[in-house]
Structure 1
Amino acid sequence: MTVSAAWPVRRALTSEHGTALPAFVDHHVHLHLIDASTLAARGIAAVVDLGGDPVALARRARGLPRVSYAGAFLTAPGGYPQGRSWAPDATVRLVTDPSRHPGVTDGARTAVDAQADAGASVIKVALHADAGPVVSDDVLSAVVAAAADRGLPVVAHAQGAGQVERAIEAGVAALAHAPFDAPLSRRTLSRAIDAGQVWISTLDIHRGAAREQAITNLRAFAAHGGRVLYGTDLGNGSLPVGLNRRELLALHHADVRGDALVAALTDAWPNVEPTTAVCTFVPGPAPTDPDDLPTWLSRGTVVATEELTRVD
């Protein structure tokens, strides 16, 4: 098969021949729960941390993987993920007041400013109604507006009856997980797509009915032009650190295939410009059978772009 973004190359250091692709991104990780030091060797050049300590994230040493982050989860008192063993206090920020004025205690603008001032590229809000209270419509709208004032998109963990619809109505730019707890109506899918919402896959965290529902919803979203991003929720359970073959296969099963699968891996979101100093090297040519592409992609590693010489 032909992969539009791929080109044949030779590695200068090893003389190995293979294929170069743009740098791969995992759009949903939690760095405080993993050892990120092996990500580049296992194919991930950049990550988006969607829930962590904003101060610790701001202090991370530069290098690979390149890190974009949301900072703390914005949530209601007693809401997800407050009180979880994996979510220290610094990873959670309570928001109760829809005020868009700076400095208001527990205000929407205050919470957004704290993440943005720490270098956040996106704002994360928890809408997990199955796990506890969620922010009100007024607070949610105020968070989206305050984030827009800082030039930042909002991503939501939307779970529970009506939460995906609330996210769409409020102008949330991305869902942290492909919806998995219920089928979505054609109208809801159309509204999400028309709004330009993006969905991060995270299919491999599920098993059984939830997995099949997530795949079904994502398939419908992608089939009608929805923008899909590769993301694993790395740190959640026993997921492989690096490219996740199971996630790639699940995306393929959801009919995110070929160039669309590569696009999901290489999308720069939430950044505007992709990483160009490094790229992905996969040994050998792209497979001729499209069904073999996920496994082949999972063998990628990150190399300096200057190390590769194009061969035609």
Structure 2
Amino acid sequence: MNAATFFDGEGWREGLVELIDGRMLLRDERPAPGTPRLDGGVIGGFTDHHVHLQLVDHTLLGSSTLGRVVDLGANPAAISALAAARFVSVAGAPSLNERGLDDTDARALNERGLDDTDAHALDEREGDSTRSLSERSETKRAAHPVAIDFAGAFLTPVGGYPSHRDWAPAGSFREIADAETAHAAVAEMADAGASCIKVASNAEAGPVFTDVLFRTIVDAASARGLPVVAHAQGAGEAQRAARLDATRLAHAPFTEHLDDSEIAAQAASVAWISTLSIHDGDALATATDNVRRFHAAGGTVLYGTDMGNGPTPVGLNPAELDALRDAGIDGDDLLRALAPQDPRDPESVLLRLPGLDADPILARPLTPADLKA
């Protein structure tokens, strides 16, 4: 049993960590004087609020420091099966072919996973440049469970985004023509186990919903207890999604600079999922400035990477962490954006940080070897 400083989702507290029946567990109990102390801090597994598990090698997640992911656009049958499996082990994780995808889809996933360059960069960031990718892969044999929330399919107008995108897997979108098909699609996702509904509102890549039909989807989702996450892209779309009661934006607004009054209104009504590192140039500059002012206004920024959009690492993304710092989000604010699992929950992944102000990329799973005799 060791004294430990742990992060409860808002700030740092004192507790006890111990090995019980082969599992590392944390208790919210003040340590007695003289109790051996674990150096650094303990934190729950991090959350990526925007992933696409059908576009990556999902089995890599079990050896990452992510304890939870939110899939925002997938075939509902495939993603609900993966959510039920929770990546209990790498060897036992269900393949994507087993979950209703064909060989072409599966090959595409492998091609878009973590490559040697990405792995080397992460190794150096973690102070582990002496270990090769193959050596690091040995740690994947004992993977931890990963909690998966999901939206199911994109809901989009007929001909809307992403219905014409080659990367969109079969069954990953529903084209909504009217209130009847809207209610049916929301019911389908809810019955599949969705924790939110994803609405595509991309005016730069096809038609978008009318206000009336967008509101119909929001109301149908609300009736099932589900928030709406909107992909808002194009002039005025972020403001419109917020006005129509979307709960979150899948991407921090990047197509236009929001003025301070718009920022204040959004900070009071919606949360933004960051996804800053998928951009460059003017889009990155615009999104970063918007996020900086949104955060300063008290808005909720959630770490999310759009995992699967290009060669993103399947795990914590150092580029996204750097982008959030560039937007003024660091220290405990950055940890809050990462929405770690509650380490007091026996189902949580327990991670060890080398210091309370350490870069989250340096976190690693807490092991029995960390406990002092």
> In structure 2, how many angstroms separate the alpha carbons of the residues matched to 1:274 and 1:32?
31
Q: Normalised by the size of structure 1, how large is the TM-score? A: 0.85
Q: Which deviates more from structure 2 when the two are superposed, residues 8-17 or residues 31-40?
A: 8-17
Equivalent residue for 1:76? 157
Asked if the contact 1:6–1:19 (Cα under 8 Å) also holds between the matched residues in 2, the reply is: no
Q: How many residues align?
A: 290
Matched, 1:222 2:295: yes
CA distance in 2, matches of 1:40, 1:84: 29
Counterpart residue number, 2:43: 21
Call closer, same or farther: CA 1:273–1:69 in 2, change over 3 Å: farther
Name the structure 2 match of 1:264.
Answer: 337
Q: In terms of mean alpha carbon deviation, does 272-281 or 140-149 score higher?
A: 272-281
Equivalent position to 1:153, from 227, 231, 242 = 227
Q: Is the contact between residue 227 and residue 247 of structure 2 (CA under 8 Å) also seen in structure 1?
A: yes
2:327 aligned with 1:254: yes
* Worse-superposed segment, 34-43 or 88-97: 34-43
Match of 2:60 in 1: 38
CA distance in 1: counterparts of 2:15 and 2:238, whole angstroms: 42
Once the two structures are TM-superposed, the CA of residue 18 in structure 1 deviates from its matched residue by 4.4
Tell me: CA distance 1:266–1:276, structure 2 relative to 1, closer, same or farther (3 Å).
farther
Q: Is the 8 A contact 1:46 1:65 kept in 2?
A: yes
Alignment of structure 1 residues 49-128 onto 2, 5 Å: 49-60=71-82, 61-62=85-86, 63=88, 64-97=145-178, 99=179, 104=180, 107-128=181-202
**Paired residue for 2:313?**
240
Given candidates 231, 235, 245, the residue that maps to 1:171 is: 245
Q: Provide the rounded CA distance (Å) in 1 between the counterparts of 2:338 and 2:52.
A: 18
Closer/same/farther in 2, CA of residues 267 and 297 from structure 1, 3 Å limit = closer
RMSD: 2.8
Q: How far apart, in 1, do the equivalents of 2:161 and 2:346 lie?
A: 36
| Residue-by-residue CA offset, 1:68-106 (whole Å, 9 max, x unaligned) | 000000001111000211112300101121x2xxxx3xx
Residues in 2 aligned to 1:253 and 1:284: alpha-carbon distance in whole angstroms: 23
Specify every segment of 5 or more residues in structure 2 that has no aligned partner in the other structure, as ranges: 1-5, 25-36, 89-144
Deviation at 1:274, TM superposition (A): 9.6
1:138 maps onto 2:212 in alignment: yes
**1:88, 1:159 → 2: CA distance?**
21
CA distance in 2, matches of 1:187, 1:246: 30
Partners of 1:9 and 1:308 within 8 A in 2: no
- How far apart in 2 are the matches of 1:8 and 1:297? 20
Give the counterpart letter for 2:257 in structure 1: P
Q: 1:226 to 1:267 in 2, by over 3 A?
A: farther
Is 186-195 or 118-127 further displaced after alignment? 186-195
CA distance in 2, matches of 1:137, 1:308: 57
**Percentage of pairs with the same residue:** 41
Shift in Å, 1:276 = 5.0
Q: 1:96-130 deviations in whole A, cap 9, x for unaligned?
A: 21x2xxxx3xx221111111010000000000000
Partner of 1:281: 351
Map of 1:298 onto structure 2 = 361
Q: Amino acid of the residue matched to residue 151 of structure 1?
A: G
Q: Measure, in 2, the Cα distance between the counterparts of 1:308 and 1:251.
A: 33
**2-structure distance, mates of 1:302, 1:273:** 12
Amino acid at match of 2:327: A
What is the one-letter code of the residue matched to 1:299? L
Q: Distance in 2 between matches of 1:42 and 1:161?
A: 37
- Whether 1:182 and 2:224 are equivalent positions in the alignment is no
Residue 290 of structure 1 is matched in structure 2 by none
Q: TM-score, normalised by structure 2?
A: 0.71
SS in 2 for 1:256: coil
Distance in 2 between residues matched to 1:267 and 1:142, nearest whole Å: 33
- Structure-2 change in CA distance of 1:265 and 1:285 (3 Å): same
Question: Displacement of 1:299 after TM fit?
Answer: 2.2
Shifted more, 252-261 versus 141-150: the winner is 252-261
Q: CA deviation at 1:259?
A: 1.1
- 1:25-84, Cα deviation, whole Å (9 max, x unpaired): 000000000112222422111100000001111112134221000000000111100021
The letter for the 2-side match of 1:65 is V
Alignment match of 1:162 (pick from 214, 236, 242): 236
Q: Distance in 2 between matches of 1:284 and 1:44?
A: 17
- Tell me, in whole angstroms, the C-alpha distance in 2 between the residues paired with 1:95 and 1:141: 13
